[in-house]
A and B are shown apart, each in its own frame.
Chain A
């Protein structure tokens, strides 16, 4: 498991860089990323378990007694509610998932500006997440000896869409920060619960751009020290795994899961 994570540096001989920052222990490897991903996923699962237990303290229907906190209570209640008759409301689940969860029609109806900000963050985040998972899968396939496509080639293929969606995400984040800072209503109502989410996303995007720039030796026209690529990548990967996976159940990021579930439970809402 010593396969080196592809960071743009192919020679592994250079253990300590000119700044003395890079040590062997810091060199990012596939195994290291794998372990961090597993830890993040484990924290995510623990968080989801706690949330399911918490939700499971509710009843299975209106007017019924509270349940005992079983993790099965929520899915059973959700399934029951989705199949129950709606009164004047209610739409097909596919309409709900595509128009309301994916395209966020309800937000568009109320505030096109806020919708644009959110769809940029959502679209950019989802696309980058999918591409990261795809890259991960290609590396695994390659590692077990199935040579369909080399990770290096695949990474180059993803380079352009990666850039596009990174800028889309960046745009959304800049609008969100602007809104939280300069729109009075939004600023006055902002609490730590909201700020943490935005700060997390900002760090991920900024470190992503820096890591990518270092790997390519150039960042928005500025020359970068390529030998810093592994630790920069490592930092970006760690922070991304932390915010984008592990931290979800414990923060406002939870709305990414609870939002679509709510839309499904209420048949698209009123």
Chain B
């Protein structure tokens, strides 16, 4: 009697299984992988070797030999090792960008992770807490969901219903409130009527999708449903995001989870501001004093969905800011190291990648390292602190915008 295959194909699409056979092992992905670099070139982390190993797993389980003589058993330790390696990836997508045959590695790693979660191997380390936290608290910070409103200062006017909705996101509402402060006050300042979901907002579930846990207890789908229904109930036609992770998840993952098109437009705050700048609607009241700013493209905003120019347009429009680009930008950008659950699961690795990225920035002698994602800000700040580069300010584009518009954020106290 033939044995059972050691692995199955759960969560992998037919196209993804084909992509495994497309890899020519050119090694371009290895040249650019940020976690491979930060892990002292651990060969197990090289993207092409992960593809090779899963292809070998597939062939041992379902290839010619398996068909003739039965599947060949794969040692459990090999699968565990593979799991460790596939989770030591920020899913930044650099390997997809440089892949000569265009393999969509971001989706591939996420599908492998989801497969390994179902098999009982994944996730990695503390990432397993995401399910409990988001399932129970509706955010990954163990905060009371009512606290999503606690940052709102008295002067900020949030309509009960409006055509524009600002989706704050867990990190901005519960940890980096300055980002939410800035976004809300900029919108008020510009006379844009907007609404928010408030305590009805649920985590976008990016962390669950990135770590392959989105099917557990159906939490991610239910969360997406609740958010989408809430947004529709608020009468919103446009939803603004200042968090790159929430933006990517709403744009790409929610339609997949719900199997439907979103009934509203999904816009990153920098895209929204870029349009207003073009229309001449921003009046800069407090120009910066000739500061050099370098911009870090968040993976979830850049490579994942192609938003490269709007943040730069905003920075270029702010008087007194001299935008100086790093060597690796846009589609060739180096990841900050926080994504893909690495910050939670493998913090040392996340810090190692962040240090390298901060060094990229320091090479340009900037006053400010700016980004458009609270996760990037957090990890780049950690990288800066680790390097002792205290003079470097790490700040979000929307915060710089608020300051240049003359909006005070001094009353913001972050958790």
A62 B13 Cβ-Cβ under 8 A: yes
Given contacts A55-B17, A77-B14, A89-B306, contact A193 B102 (CB under 8 A): no
Query: Considering only CB atoms and an 8 Å cut-off, how many residues of chain B contact the other chain?
Result: 52
Output the residue of B8, B25, B102, B111 with the most chain A CB within 10 A. Answer: B102
Interface flag for B23 (CB, 8 Å): yes
Q: Which of B15, B25, B30, B103 contacts A74 (CB 8 A)?
A: B15
Residues of chain B with a CB closer than 8 A to A224's CB: none
A77 B306 Cβ-Cβ under 8 A: no
B17 A57 Cβ-Cβ under 8 A: yes
Within 8 A of B (CB), among A145-200: 185-186, 189, 191, 193-194
Residues of chain A with a CB closer than 8 A to B257's CB: 63
Interface flag for B360 (CB, 8 Å): no
Q: Bound complex: CA of A78 vs CA of B16, how far in Å?
A: 10
Q: Bound complex: CA of A157 vs CA of B187, how far in Å?
A: 74
For residue A105, give the distance in angstroms from its CB to the closest CB of chain B: 10
Q: Bound complex: CA of A47 vs CA of B305, how far in Å?
A: 37
Interface string of B77-111 (1 = CB under 8 A from A): 00000000000000001001111111110010001
A55 B215 Cβ-Cβ under 8 A: no
Binding stretch for chain A, among B61-69, B272-280, B334-342 = B61-69
Given contacts A62-B107, A100-B102, A185-B27, contact A56 B21 (CB under 8 A): no
A266 B305 Cβ-Cβ under 8 A: no
CB nearest neighbor in A for B255: A85
Residues of chain B with a CB closer than 8 A to A137's CB: none
Interface flag for A142 (CB, 8 Å): no
Residues of chain A with a CB closer than 8 A to B25's CB: 189, 191, 193-194, 252
Q: How many interface contacts (CB-CB < 8 Å) are there between A and B?
A: 153
Output the residue of A50, A56, A63, A67 with the most chain B CB within 10 A. Answer: A63
Residues of chain A with a CB closer than 8 A to B14's CB: 55-60, 67, 73-74, 76-78
Q: Bound complex: CA of A267 vs CA of B303, how far in Å?
A: 15
Residues of chain A with a CB closer than 8 A to B382's CB: none
For residue B48, give the distance in angstroms from its CB to the closest CB of chain A: 8
Q: Bound complex: CA of A141 vs CA of B257, how far in Å?
A: 56
Within 8 A of B (CB), among A75-89: 76-78, 81, 87-89
Q: Bound complex: CA of A78 vs CA of B17, how far in Å?
A: 11
Residues of chain A with a CB closer than 8 A to B305's CB: 87-88
Residues of chain B with a CB closer than 8 A to A67's CB: 14
A81 B100 Cβ-Cβ under 8 A: no
Given contacts A55-B14, A59-B13, A255-B21, contact A270 B97 (CB under 8 A): yes
Interface string of B27-39 (1 = CB under 8 A from A): 1101000000000
CB nearest neighbor in B for A58: B14
Q: Bound complex: CA of A95 vs CA of B61, how far in Å?
A: 37
For residue A84, give the distance in angstroms from its CB to the closest CB of chain B: 10
Give me 22 A-to-B residue pairs in the complex whose CB atoms sit less than 8 angstroms apart, sorted by A's number.
A53-B62, A54-B59, A58-B13, A58-B16, A64-B13, A65-B10, A77-B13, A78-B18, A87-B252, A189-B25, A194-B25, A255-B23, A255-B24, A258-B19, A258-B22, A259-B101, A262-B22, A263-B101, A265-B18, A269-B104, A270-B303, A270-B331
Given contacts A73-B14, A78-B14, 18 further A-B contacts (CB under 8 A): A50-B67, A54-B17, A55-B14, A56-B14, A59-B12, A62-B256, A63-B215, A66-B12, A81-B15, A87-B251, A110-B98, A111-B26, A185-B27, A189-B27, A259-B100, A262-B22, A265-B104, A269-B102
